[in-house]
Amino acid sequence: MRTIAVIPAYNESARLPAVVRALLPLVDEVVVVDDGSADDTGPAAAAAGATVLTHRLNRGQGAALKTGTAAALAAGADLIIHFDADGQHRPDTVPDLLRPILDGQADVVLGSRFLGQPAAGMPLSRRLLLWAARQFSAFALGIPRRFTDPQSGLRAWRREVAAAVDFRQDRMAHCSEILRLLAHSDWRVREVPVRIEYTAQTLRKGQRAADAFGIVWQLFLGAWY
């Protein structure tokens, strides 16, 4: 089955090439969406072997994923993986993501930082933030609490699901929006445990409290209006 990894990237010229090179032996193609970067993210990804699409302006991670997913579908992907550019997602999780789909047990597989193991290396503040996001997702969006990591951006899905799930959030709120749409569908969704590589640099680039409130506000508007 033709498998394409889609990576949204913004100012990741330093870390992205290693991610691309590690993924290429595991998939048929890597599509990088350079989301208006001010550095050499696009050329660096292309030199590492990726197909590169470019947003002239920074439109957000969700928008980049929509662009990349549409390109993957047009390129004939049977399976599509969403993967981060900064090295937090480990390429060795790809077989675990794909296995339930290939075995006919799932249509979508989500990587969870909290399933079956502690989130190694994650600061307490980040754990509390993600716990609050999970509670809000259950209360406001009707996402079942059996989903342990609503903010996970690591996922694999069959082309039929990727084509059908019409998420609208262009920035970080897309994770919970996708999960809300899946939770209210007939698609078979599974989680698998994954380990995330946290470094001081990636933590600095991660969500701040202000970002979390922005996500909550976007989801509130999307859920009720």
Residue 225 confidence class, pLDDT cut points 50, 70, 90: very low
Give me the percent of the chain exceeding a pLDDT of 70.
Answer: 74
- What is the DSSP-derived secondary structure letter of residue 22? H
Which pair of tokens denotes residue 52?
Answer: 């590169």
Per-residue model confidence as pLDDT tens digits over 8-34: 999 999 999 999 999 999 999 999 999
Domain of 40? 3-224
Tell me the pTM: 0.85
Question: Which one, of 158, 148, 217, 224, lies nearest residue 185 by Cα?
Answer: 158
Q: What is the pLDDT of residue 132?
A: 66
Q: What is the pLDDT of residue 209?
A: 46
- Adjacency order of strands within the sheet including 108-112: 51-55, 29-35, 3-9, 79-82, 155-158, 108-112, 189-193
Per-residue model confidence as pLDDT tens digits over 139-188: 656 666 678 877 788 999 999 999 999 988 878 778 888 888 898 899 99
Residue 118 confidence class, pLDDT cut points 50, 70, 90: low
**Mean confidence (pLDDT) of the chain:** 85
- What does the CA dihedral 140, 144, 145, 148 come to, rounded to 10 degrees? -100
CATH at 193: 3.90.550.10
Strand partners, 156: 81, 109
Residue 54 confidence class, pLDDT cut points 50, 70, 90: very high
Residue 83 confidence class, pLDDT cut points 50, 70, 90: very high
Residue 130 has pLDDT above 90, yes or no: no
Residue 219 confidence class, pLDDT cut points 50, 70, 90: low
Q: What is the pLDDT of residue 10?
A: 97
Domain count, the chain: 1
Helices 41-48 and 16-23: crossing angle in degrees, nearest 10, is 30
Question: Which one, of 66, 80, 36, 89, lies nearest residue 174 by Cα?
Answer: 66
Residue 79 contacts by C-beta under 8 Å, 6 or more apart in sequence? 1, 2, 3, 4, 98, 101, 156, 157, 158, 159
